[in-house]
């Protein structure tokens, strides 16, 4: 510890060595850092898992690739979340030290401000090393690993396995689907195959089929029974053939050539970047290699400077709101991250030298952090930007003045125990939710701001944040209840209030009932957001993102296949929010699932009472031949809605329970396996159990008291909460892919963890 002169606190000789103070601060920092990092990783990885499931299903790939893809995402997400989690954890630790007047005690005892921040800088140096390990070694390999697994999954060819009602690109210009499939995906019913032959198309429908793969592993064999083939070419017209048995073989699409690692500078390690930048025959320009190297070093070496910024900002609103300080800190992090990105792009183009540019940028953040820290030494928390923070704080605390009557004041004069616990937990849950949403938004913007600017202007960053808000709330709501309950019970334990409650005979179950209204309120809100707001917001975001993609106006839409009212439909594109469909082809089938009529239309327009097909060509299949007629317009009687068409073309994987119900029972378009719709329906209610289970998992925190080890119950509660989120997400993914029954996938984690938590409480009470 530093050598101090007690009579003159301002005069000291700084001689740093590990001490009790360092261990105390670092122990306080470890738990929030791990918790925040765990929540952010789980949130983003679960989102990526859902997207990957849809991508693998569309390509007919095995779901066994999913684990490899998600595993290779961890180093990238970890490197992205590490600085933000460290910054947020420091705010939590400094806030706790300040609220309990420990910082005042340190300063009054002669411990200098530099000595308080020293262990935080030490932790920052360690994390800088971890960041260098991630960005310099693990991320390059994980990027290539992710690309390799995704290439193997999507380009290795169709596995000759079908999920029911899913449309698969089985080969060049070949689409195949089946109404029903057994567990192996090989025994089929209601088979539909469409080939684009260049000169026209060939449609094959059959009552049943049996899939297989030939020994060469490149050719599929499909044995069909009782079906019909419609071949239509421009020169010969439609030709009809009915068969009792048919064997069809198809060479699966060839796998794309996997580019070796190193063709992209982001897939090179730091030693490889340095070596390549000195090679005269390097494939990547030297400026690009040096810019990538300097960017990685700059981001990692900036982490030890974060405590110099966090400590003054966290103390700027002493014993008050720290939200303004966190907002300013988040702005600084985002600005620095994108300044590095901008500097790197300039260096890539040869506008500036990467060493000079990155060095100047690092010098700016170094000078700013030292200036902010040193300016607050004499009066901790009094920084040059304190005036700005105070104005932000005053704006947040401004409330309309309401005159209360004497009777109302008497009624509010004393709180009941239930109201006291409810209010305490509600405030902490709300604070935890706001902090976690802000953190996830920060990390998301660190990754996406450059792409958002390519899709629009600066104002579109606000649009992106608003549209992402429902999903982020859905992700953090359960953990916010857990954090709010843990903070509440910890505060009660520190103040010995829990001891008094237990002495008076109050059980843990009674404490649970008094805090249950907060969990129930969050559960109801979470169910509404998850089922209604999130799917609509994600669809709006996907629609805007696709429409503003660079070159989107010159890129043709991918056709969308779906079933509705027993028919198979292909649509080339849409406009006007799904009210106008382009290139509509309807394959009507009879009760035996055999093609009965084909309708081709140039467009379909939504009217008040249905759809109107224009410039339609109708091909009717008789017993031995096909006849064609053309009509200028005709009605299309279907349960398809414009909102359904807009969702299909938006590539939105989040769906409402109403959409799942309509699709599952034949009243809406079906482009996914029934297991996804069933899981979505069961999850509608099961998701609402998460906040209540989190409250149960937090109750062991109430077993501690002011003179016992309170860390173990907190770690147990937070660890169980993260384990629940991971388990619930994995089971949901398994239910969506049909590995588990939908009911078990949706309710397995809630029932299992609830039973475990209740058993633990009964044991503790006994």
Query: φ, ψ for residue 739 (rounded to 5)?
Result: -70, -40
pLDDT band of residue 334 (cuts 50, 70, 90) is: confident
Query: What are the tens digits of pLDDT across the range 618-630?
Result: 998 887 788 889 8
Whether 705 shows a pLDDT value over 60: the answer reads no
Whether 166 shows a pLDDT value over 60: the answer reads yes
pLDDT, mean of residues 338-343: 83
Residue tagged 């198809």 (tokens): 250
The structure tokens listed for 554 are 């010159």
If we measure between CA atoms, which residue out of 238, 215, 218 comes closest to residue 228?
238
Segments of 63-118 assigned E as strands: none
Query: What are the tens digits of pLDDT across the range 53-91?
Result: 777 766 666 667 788 888 888 888 888 888 888 988 888
CA torsion 749→754→759→765, rounded to 10°? Answer: 150
Determine whether 622 is exposed, middle or buried from the number of CB atoms within 10 Å of its CB (0-12, 13-18, 19+): exposed
Min mean pLDDT across 386-395, 419-428, 569-578, 583-592 is at: 386-395
Contact 113, 107 (CB under 8 A): yes
Whether 746 shows a pLDDT value over 80: the answer reads yes
Contact 69, 150 (CB under 8 A): yes
DSSP string, 475-520: HHHHHHHHHHHHHHHHHHHHTTHHHHHHHTT--HHHHHHHHHHHHH
Contact 446, 80 (CB under 8 A): yes
320 vs 381, 569, 675, CA distance in Å? 12, 60, 50
Whether 6 shows a pLDDT value over 50: the answer reads no
pLDDT band of residue 421 (cuts 50, 70, 90) is: confident
- How many Cβ atoms are within 10 Å of 512's Cβ, its own excluded? 20
Whether 351 shows a pLDDT value over 50: the answer reads yes
pTM of the predicted protein model: 0.77
The structure tokens listed for 749 are 């984690």
Tell me which range, 215-224, 338-347, 471-480, 497-506, is most confidently predicted by mean pLDDT.
Answer: 471-480
% pLDDT > 90, the chain = 14
If we measure between CA atoms, which residue out of 453, 589, 443, 466 comes closest to residue 41?
443
Which part of the chain has CATH 2.60.450.10?
566-638
> Given 3.40.50.2000, 3.90.1150.10, 2.60.450.10, 3.40.50.2300, which CATH number is that of 566-638?
2.60.450.10
According to DSSP, residue 591 is labeled T
Whether 708 shows a pLDDT value over 60: the answer reads no
Contact 156, 61 (CB under 8 A): yes
Structure confidence at residue 402 (pLDDT): 42
Q: Which residues contact 140 (CB under 8 A, 6 or more apart)?
A: 261, 266, 267, 268, 269, 272
Q: How far apart are CA 126 and CA 120, in angstroms?
A: 10
Contact 191, 213 (CB under 8 A): no
Query: What are the tens digits of pLDDT across the range 227-250?
Result: 898 888 877 788 888 888 888 777
Query: What are the tens digits of pLDDT across the range 114-156?
Result: 888 888 999 999 999 999 999 888 988 888 888 888 777 766 5
497 vs 101, 269, 493, 518, CA distance in Å? 20, 54, 6, 20
Contact 680, 660 (CB under 8 A): yes
Structure confidence at residue 254 (pLDDT): 52
Residue 5 C-alpha from the chain's centroid:
53
Contact 212, 238 (CB under 8 A): no
If we measure between CA atoms, which residue out of 33, 36, 23, 31 comes closest to residue 118?
23
Structure confidence at residue 412 (pLDDT): 45
- How many Cβ atoms are within 10 Å of 299's Cβ, its own excluded? 22
Q: Which ranges of 134-188 would DSSP assign to H, the alpha helix?
A: 139-155
The structure tokens listed for 240 are 């009809």
Whether 707 shows a pLDDT value over 50: the answer reads no
Query: φ, ψ for residue 43 (rounded to 5)?
Result: -60, -50
pLDDT band of residue 600 (cuts 50, 70, 90) is: very high
Query: What are the tens digits of pLDDT across the range 173-186?
Result: 788 888 888 877 77
Q: How far apart are CA 206 and CA 211, in angstroms?
A: 13
Q: Mean pLDDT over all residues of the chain?
A: 80
pLDDT, mean of residues 38-66: 76
Element (H, E) at 193: strand 187-196
The structure tokens listed for 258 are 């996997």
Q: How far apart are CA 63 and CA 57, in angstroms?
A: 8
The structure tokens listed for 6 are 């007690």
Contact 28, 93 (CB under 8 A): yes
Min mean pLDDT across 390-394, 478-482, 698-702 is at: 390-394
pLDDT band of residue 459 (cuts 50, 70, 90) is: confident
Contact 644, 661 (CB under 8 A): no
According to DSSP, residue 100 is labeled T
Whether 11 shows a pLDDT value over 70: the answer reads no
Structure confidence at residue 256 (pLDDT): 54
Query: What are the tens digits of pLDDT across the range 633-660?
Result: 898 888 888 888 888 888 777 888 888 8
Coil, helix or strand at residue 248: strand
Q: Which residues pair with 251 in a beta bridge?
A: 219
Element (H, E) at 418: helix 417-455
The larger pLDDT score, comparing residue 31 to residue 534, is at 534
Angle at the Cα of 20 (from 100 to 26), degrees rounded to 5?
Answer: 70
Q: Which residues contact 400 (CB under 8 A, 6 or more apart)?
A: none
pLDDT band of residue 522 (cuts 50, 70, 90) is: very high
The structure tokens listed for 492 are 């009660």
Structure confidence at residue 709 (pLDDT): 47
CA torsion 629→635→638→641, rounded to 10°? Answer: 130
Q: How far apart are CA 725 and CA 42, in angstroms?
A: 7
Structure confidence at residue 407 (pLDDT): 47
The structure tokens listed for 246 are 């048919």
Min mean pLDDT across 96-105, 264-273, 503-512, 697-706 is at: 697-706
Structure confidence at residue 325 (pLDDT): 67
Contact 247, 221 (CB under 8 A): yes
Contact 479, 527 (CB under 8 A): no
Structure confidence at residue 598 (pLDDT): 92
If we measure between CA atoms, which residue out of 598, 603, 588, 469 comes closest to residue 538?
469
Q: How far apart are CA 635 and CA 605, in angstroms?
A: 10
Whether 18 shows a pLDDT value over 80: the answer reads no
Q: Which residues pair with 6 in a beta bridge?
A: none
């Amino acid at each position: 510890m530093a050598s101090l002169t007690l009579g003159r606190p301002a005069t000291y000789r700084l001689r740093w060595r590990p001490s009790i103070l360092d261990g105390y601060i670092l122990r306080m920092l470890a738990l929030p850092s791990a918790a925040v990092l765990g929540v952010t990783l789980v949130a983003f990885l679960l989102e990526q898992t859902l997207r990957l499931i849809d991508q693998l299903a569309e390509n007919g790939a095995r779901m066994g690739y999913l684990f490899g893809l998600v595993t290779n995402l961890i180093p990238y997400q970890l490197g992205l979340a590490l600085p933000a989690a460290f910054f947020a954890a420091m705010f939590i630790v400094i806030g706790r030290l300040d609220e309990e007047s420990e910082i005042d005690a340190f300063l009054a005892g002669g411990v200098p401000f530099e000595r308080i921040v020293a262990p935080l800088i030490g932790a920052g140096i360690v994390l800088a090393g971890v960041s260098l390990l991630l960005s310099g070694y693990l991320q390059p390999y994980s990027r290539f690993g992710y690309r390799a697994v995704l290439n193997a999954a999507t380009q290795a060819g169709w596995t000759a396995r079908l999920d029911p009602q899913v449309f698969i690109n089985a080969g060049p210009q070949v689409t195949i689907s089946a109404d029903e499939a057994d567990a192996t995906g090989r025994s089929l019913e209601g088979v539909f195959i469409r080939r684009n032959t260049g000169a026209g198309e060939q449609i094959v429908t059959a009552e049943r089929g049996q899939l297989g793969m030939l020994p060469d592993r490149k050719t599929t064999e499909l044995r069909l029974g009782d079906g019909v083939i419609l071949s239509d070419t421009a020169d010969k017209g439609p030709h009809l053939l009915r068969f009792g048995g048919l064997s069809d073989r198809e060479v699966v699409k060839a796998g794309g050539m996997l580019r070796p690692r190193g063709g992209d500078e982001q897939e090179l390690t730091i030693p490889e970047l340095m070596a390549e930048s000195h090679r005269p025959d390097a494939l990547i320009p030297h400026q690009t290699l040096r810019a990538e190297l300097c960017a990685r070093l700059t981001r990692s070496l900036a982490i030890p400077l974060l405590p110099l910024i966090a400590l003054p900002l966290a103390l700027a609103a002493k014993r008050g709101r720290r939200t303004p300080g966190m907002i300013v800190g988040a702005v600084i992090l985002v600005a620095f991250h994108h300044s590095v990105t901008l500097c790197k792009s300039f260096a890539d183009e040869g506008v500036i030298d990467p060493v000079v540019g990155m060095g100047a940028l690092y010098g700016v953040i170094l000078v700013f952090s030292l200036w902010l820290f040193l300016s607050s030494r004499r009066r901790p928390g009094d920084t040059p930007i304190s005036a700005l923070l105070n104005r932000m704080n005053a704006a947040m605390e401004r409330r309309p003045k309401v005159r209360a009557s004497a009777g109302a004041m008497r009624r509010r004069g004393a709180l009941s125990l239930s109201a006291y616990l409810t209010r305490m937990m509600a405030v902490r849950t709300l604070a935890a939710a706001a902090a976690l949403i802000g953190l996830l938004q920060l990390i998301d913007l660190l990754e996406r701001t450059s792409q958002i600017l390519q899709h629009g202007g600066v104002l579109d960053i606000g649009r992106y944040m608003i549209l992402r808000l429902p999903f982020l709330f859905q992700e953090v709501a359960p953990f916010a209840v857990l954090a709010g309950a843990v903070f509440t019970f910890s505060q009660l334990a520190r103040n010995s209030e829990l001891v008094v409650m237990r002495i008076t005979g109050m059980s843990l179950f009674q404490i649970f009932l008094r805090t249950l209204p907060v969990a129930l309120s969050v559960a109801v809100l979470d169910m509404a957001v998850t089922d209604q707001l999130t799917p609509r917001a994600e669809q709006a975001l996907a629609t805007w993102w696709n429409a503003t993609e660079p070159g989107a106006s010159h890129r043709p839409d991918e056709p969308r296949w779906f079933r509705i009212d027993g028919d198979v439909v292909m649509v080339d594109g849409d406009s006007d929010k799904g009210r106008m469909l382009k290139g509509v082809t309807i394959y009507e089938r009879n009760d035996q699932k055999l093609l009965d009529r084909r309708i081709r239309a140039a467009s379909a327009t939504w009217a008040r009472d249905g759809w109107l097909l224009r410039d339609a060509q109708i091909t009717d299949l008789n017993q031995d031949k096909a006849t064609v007629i053309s009509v200028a317009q005709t009605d299309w009687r279907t349960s398809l809605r414009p909102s359904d068409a807009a969702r299909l073309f938006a590539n939105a994987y989040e769906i409402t329970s109403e959409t799942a119900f309509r699709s599952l029972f034949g009243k809406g378009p079906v482009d996914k396996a029934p297991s996804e719709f069933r899981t979505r329906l069961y999850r509608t209610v099961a998701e609402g159990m998460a906040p209540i289970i989190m409250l149960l998992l937090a109750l062991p925190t109430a077993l501690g008291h002011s003179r016992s080890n309170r860390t173990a119950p907190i770690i147990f509660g937070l660890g169980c909460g993260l384990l629940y989120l991971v388990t619930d997400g994995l089971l949901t993914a398994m239910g969506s892919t049909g590995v588990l029954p939908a009911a078990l996938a949706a309710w397995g984690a809630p029932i299992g963890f609830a039973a475990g938590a209740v058993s633990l409480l009964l044991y503790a009470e006994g």
